[in-house]
Amino acid sequence: MNASLPDIAAETAPSKSPLRLLIAAPRGFCAGVDRAIEIVERAIERYGAPVYVRHEIVHNRFVVDGLKAKGAIFVEELDQVPDGAPVVFSAHGVPKVVPQDATARGLDWLDATCPLVSKVHRQAERQVEAGRHILFVGHKGHPEVIGTMGQVPEGAISLVETVEDVARLSFAEGTPLAFLTQTTLSVDDTAEIVAALRARFPQIVGPKAEDICYATSNRQEAVKAIAGECDLLLVIGAPNSSNSLRLVEVAERMGTRSRLIQRANEIDPAWLEGVNTLGLTAGASAPEVLVREVVAKVGELRSISEETVTTTEEKMVFKLPRQLLD
């Protein structure tokens, strides 16, 4: 009887067959996220707790909870900020009326909008000043879209989400038009929509440089570099993180099964059954500590051979607001 016990244990224990783990690079925090988090941390040091933050500073619960522990209070609207309290606007950008209202109330406010998003805001203003109607490619309800559309007068910009939306547009021939895009979109999907816009409206004016940010493009290219070799790809990111969701889509478009997770404890051991090569990446709002957490969790389930696949090096750094440099 006792002789059979080790065999039973072996049958029920987690599989320890070697697993090849391919980790994409670049991954995780981008320069805009680094800057936004540092703005909140420095604001707490400068003003003392609490410092209010309108909307999640970045779309990551781990990051938000860490800042809460340091003294940040997150709110959805400016009217939830008490008079006299400092407030930070999130990395996604806000409609123009928000800082105007903050100034009117005499609030000390800091703008953590990613400079690449701010660049799109300026482009939107210039296109409207030039008399063009803007077709904005983005996802309805995303904070970045709300912020960008709020830079120009109502009726001066229309949202386009799909190629099918382009076919439904009804502008008269020769209408002055311009297009801009959200910074965290799928590079491939956006190229299809822009091609449809140019075919439908030959006179349309586009930005001199692509609006999709370098970090979004780089992370998608890194996923493409490993997805073809993977049986499963894990993407660390929040369900409301546009750039993280796009990484899942990029892998699935290549025929690779992909799952979005926020933390290592969401991993189901059954996912790894039959998996010989596992891919791993992280959206632009996910810190590297969560990547290592996932690697450790997978290492508990399987013996792993870890490889990093680097497609490009990122050296972008953005300046902090002047108020924090005094």
Q: Please write the tens of the pLDDT for every residue from 62-76.
A: 999 999 999 999 999
Strand order of the sheet with strand 304-310? Answer: 257-261, 232-236, 277-282, 19-25, 304-310
Where the chain has pLDDT below 70, the residues are 1-16
- What are φ and ψ of residue 9, in 5° steps? -60, -40
User: Annotated catalytic, 144?
Assistant: yes
Beta strands in 2-144 (DSSP E): 19-25, 51-54, 72-75, 87-89, 109-111, 133-137
- Domain 31-114: CATH class, spelled out: alpha beta
Cβ(219)–Cβ(243) under 8 Å?
yes
E strands within the chain?
19-25, 51-54, 72-75, 87-89, 109-111, 133-137, 157-160, 177-181, 232-236, 257-261, 277-282, 304-310
Bridge partners of residue 52, in order along the sequence:
73, 87
Consecutive H or E run containing 82: none
Contact 204, 178 (CB under 8 A): yes
Sheet of strand 177-181, all strands in order from the earlier edge strand to the far edge: 157-160, 133-137, 177-181
The pLDDT value given to residue 16: 61
CATH number assigned to the domain covering 116-200: 3.40.1010.20
Give the Cα separation of 230 and 273 in Å (integer).
13
pTM of the model: 0.91
**Close Cβ partners of 202 (under 8 Å, ≥ 6 residues apart):** none
Active-site entry in 144, 221, 252, 307: 144
Domain boundaries, the chain: 14-29+214-310, 31-114, 116-200
Q: Do domains 14-29+214-310 and 116-200 have the same CATH topology?
A: yes
CA distance readout (Å), 246 to 52, 64, 187, 242, 283: 30, 22, 9, 6, 9
Query: What fold characterizes domain 14-29+214-310?
Result: Cobalt-precorrin-4 Transmethylase; domain 1 (3.40.1010)
